Structure formats: C-alpha cells, structure tokens
C-alpha cells in the first residue's frame, strides 16, 4: 500500500489529495490526525514538506526527498483567551490575523496578539516555526509560554505551560521556535498577550543616514521602526530614505516622544497605512531577499555593503535587523561579512540549491545535526531544508 493510501485509510479520504510537483498532500484536521499522519509517514519511510499558509515556501534549501505536502492549516483546535491573565492558547493552523481579531474581541480590545507577519494569511505555526520578526513585537520566542508539538515519530508532547514564568524542565519551546518544521510540527501554543496601547501614532522621520535612525527607534514609546532606502521609500510614497516609526503606549509618553521627533528630526505624522505597506514589503520577493543581523553601531557599514551589491534596504535599526532586496545573488556574497549572521529568506531555486542559506557558525553543524538526528531520526520532516542541509 502506498503512503498516500495509508494516509487515506488512517485519516479519511477527505484529508488527502494531490499537489502539483509532489506525490500528494495530507491535511490533518486535529492533533490526533497529525500524529497519525506522522506515524504513517515514518512507517512508510516517506518525508514531508511541512507547510502553513505557504508564505515561507521559498525559505530554506530545496527538499527533493520530501514528496508529500503536510498542510497544517487544518490544525484549528481549542482557542482559549484568558483576558484576566493576559495569555491565550491558540491553534497553529489558524491565521495570525484571525487569531488577533479573536483576541481583540474576546478581551474587549484590552489585549493584543503580539505578531504582525508580512502576510495576513500567515499561520501562527508558520510564524513560530520561522521565528520571523515582525515590526512591532520583536522576537516571537519571547512571547511563547508553551507549545504542543507532534514529534516526527508521532508522539504528541508538550513543553512549557500557560503561566508567564516557568523553568520546569528544558525550555524546548525555544528550540522549536525557528526550527522551520525540521524537529516536529507545532500543533498549538500558549502565547503571552500584550496590553493594547492607549494611543498609537505613526511618524515619518527623513533620515538618509541609517545610523542616525537608532536613537529615534529607541524612544521609549517606539514600537515599530522601519528605515527604508530611497528606492523602497518611494513605494510608501516618500521622497527619500527615512524611517517610518510607530509610537504606542500611554498618551503622555507618546505625545512626549512625538514632540521630540518633530523638534529633533523634522519628523512629520504620517498615514499609518504606510506601516501596512512596509509590512507587506517584508514578504517581497524581487529575486533574492536576505536578512542580516547587524548591531546598531555597524548598521551604516552593513547597509552600505549591501547597497553596493545592488540591494534596496529595509532595516529595524534598534533590533539590529537589515533586509536586503536584490535581483541577483551577489548580495548573498556580501551578506556573510555584512553583520553577525544572515539568513537568505528567499532566492531562486538555483541559488537555494548551490549556496548555504543559513549564515551561522559552521562549528555548530555537528550539534545541529545531532539535534535533528534525535528529534527526526528518519528525516521525515523537511529533510535537507535547514542550516547545513540537515
């Protein structure tokens, strides 16, 4: 019996279908079904590409061995929003935008779900697996309290919990966030919510020199800050390089920071829709998109190097993050020396086949490989996709 037949038998025909370029696809409708699907795959020696909404399909090395598409969008289990405690249990397959809306409604607008991905269809599981930084909320790892995970071998496990402070056992959630579906499939998460700000304002700070963007991006009420090179700024539209800055918090703090921006940087209030446009830019795929981590003091140098390689730039100056958008792979070459590390987020197949896309310390490969061997011994999940093609 083929693996697809076995999946149909185990999960029901409705859960299994075809997928272009693959042998087929399976879309489990619950954690139990997910675990059952993984057991079938493991038993049949098959491998799967794990996929949420598909917004990160171009991330990572190609996976020729994986012939089944494992879709997580059916993982729509229990939603529990605890507005008294500011935490929520959320299923991995739901879109972050729908979950955010739900949290807002359930808590009467008092709490926010701290994710703002590039694509509104991004699933929670996808945001966690890619650890993709949004503009407003920093690293997703910092808001994950607990995870429910289906291991590659089909066991359903959990780590962490629902409380806001916890050192009971290893912090496996940290390992899973950013592991790109290579160590297990996230079913659901306990997330720490953030209180909704009293006031929000958007400002445009014209700044040709990105190193000068660090100070305003560090203002106490600065929540989202994106510095744009001239080419990208035009899309908002703004006449030259500068930073779009969202201030959020208590009204007096926002007012004080706004006054400082106007006085010190000749900044102007701007349409908040601009931030939405910038957020969408994060998903832009002009050919090659590379994320470089560059500490604030190295920002200018880093951006200059990437720009010289023909890239347009979007940066979060205070968080030390730079995105370079370019039409060819020359920018990948520069990325290695442009900061403290890099990740090629999107690139044509040939580039993803030929180059290492995860610019991390190669000395860590044996450890990363040992982790993969422990959690996914048969290479069932996204085999070859991650750093060092593990």
**Which parts of 344-383 interact with other proteins (CB under 8 A)?**
358-361, 363-364, 367-368, 370-371, 373-375
Binding mask 248-277 for other proteins (x = CB under 8 A): -xx-xx-xxx--------------------
**If binding means CB under 8 A, how many residues of this protein chain bind other proteins?**
80
Candidates 57, 78, 85, 271; binder of other proteins (CB under 8 A) is: 85
Contact flag: residue 306 with other proteins (CB under 8 A):
no
Q: Assess contact for 381 and 359: CB atoms under 8 A.
A: no
Residue closer to other proteins, measured from CB, 91 or 133: 133
Cα 273 to Cα 353: distance, rounded to the nearest angstrom: 37
Contact flag: residue 13 with other proteins (CB under 8 A):
no
What's the closest the beta carbon of residue 242 comes to other proteins, in angstroms? 22
Candidates 130, 293, 307, 382; binder of other proteins (CB under 8 A) is: 293
R_g (Cα) of the chain, nearest Å: 21
What's the closest the beta carbon of residue 168 comes to other proteins, in angstroms? 4
Cα 53 to Cα 122: distance, rounded to the nearest angstrom: 6
Q: Report in angstroms the alpha-carbon separations of 249 from 48, 123, 163, 272.
A: 44, 27, 24, 15
Helix (H) or strand (E) holding 11: helix 3-11
Contact flag: residue 56 with other proteins (CB under 8 A):
no
What's the closest the beta carbon of residue 34 comes to other proteins, in angstroms? 14
Residue 252 buriedness (CB in 10 A; 0-12 / 13-18 / 19+): exposed
Could you say which residues in the range 101-160 bind other proteins, by CB under 8 A?
Answer: 110-111, 131, 133, 139, 141-142, 149, 151, 155-159
Cα 164 to Cα 319: distance, rounded to the nearest angstrom: 23
Report helix, strand or coil for 331: helix
Candidates 52, 93, 125, 339; binder of other proteins (CB under 8 A) is: 339
Residue closer to other proteins, measured from CB, 77 or 197: 197
Residue 333, phi then psi, degrees to nearest 5: -60, -45
Residue 347, phi then psi, degrees to nearest 5: -165, 155
Q: Which stretch binds other proteins (CB under 8 A): 43-51, 67-75, 76-84, 232-240?
A: 76-84
């Amino acid at each position: 019996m083929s693996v697809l037949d076995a999946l149909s038998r185990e999960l029901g025909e409705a859960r299994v279908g075809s997928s272009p370029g693959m042998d087929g696809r399976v879309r489990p409708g619950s954690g139990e079904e997910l675990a059952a699907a993984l057991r079938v795959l493991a038993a049949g020696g098959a491998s799967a590409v794990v996929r949420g909404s598909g917004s990160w399909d171009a991330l990572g090395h190609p996976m020729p061995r994986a012939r089944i598409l494992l879709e997580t969008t059916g993982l729509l289990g229990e939603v529990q929003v605890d507005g008294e405690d500011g935490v929520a249990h959320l299923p991995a397959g739901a879109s972050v935008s729908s979950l955010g809306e739900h949290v807002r409604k359930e808590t009467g607008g008092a709490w926010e779900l701290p994710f703002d991905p590039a694509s509104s269809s991004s699933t929670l599981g996808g945001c966690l697996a890619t650890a993709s930084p949004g503009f407003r909320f920093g690293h997703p790892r910092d808001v994950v309290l607990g995870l429910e995970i289906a291991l590659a071998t089909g066991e359903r496990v959990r780590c962490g919990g629902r409380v806001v402070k916890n050192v009971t056992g290893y912090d496996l959630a940290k390992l899973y966030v950013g592991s790109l579906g290579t160590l297990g499939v996230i079913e659901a998460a306990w997330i720490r919510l953030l209180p909704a700000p009293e006031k929000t304002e958007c400002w445009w700070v014209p700044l040709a020199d990105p190193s000068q963007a660090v100070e305003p991006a560090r203002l106490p009420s600065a929540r989202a800050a994106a510095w744009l090179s001239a080419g990208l700024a035009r899309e908002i539209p703004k006449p030259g390089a500068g930073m779009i800055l969202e201030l959020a918090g208590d009204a007096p703090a926002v007012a004080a920071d706004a006054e400082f921006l106007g006085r010190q940087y000749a900044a102007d209030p701007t349409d908040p829709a601009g931030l939405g446009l910038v957020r969408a830019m994060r998903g832009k795929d002009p050919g090659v998109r590379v994320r470089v981590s560059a500490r604030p003091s190295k920002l200018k140098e880093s951006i200059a190097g990437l720009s010289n390689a023909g890239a347009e730039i979007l940066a979060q100056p205070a968080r030390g993050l730079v995105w370079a958008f370019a039409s060819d792979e020359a920018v990948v070459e520069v990325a290695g020396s442009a900061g403290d590390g890099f990740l090629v987020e999107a690139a044509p197949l040939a580039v993803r086949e030929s180059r290492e896309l995860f610019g991390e310390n190669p000395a860590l490969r044996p450890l990363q490989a040992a982790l993969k061997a422990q959690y996914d011994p048969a290479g069932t999940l996204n085999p070859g996709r991650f750093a060092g093609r593990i």
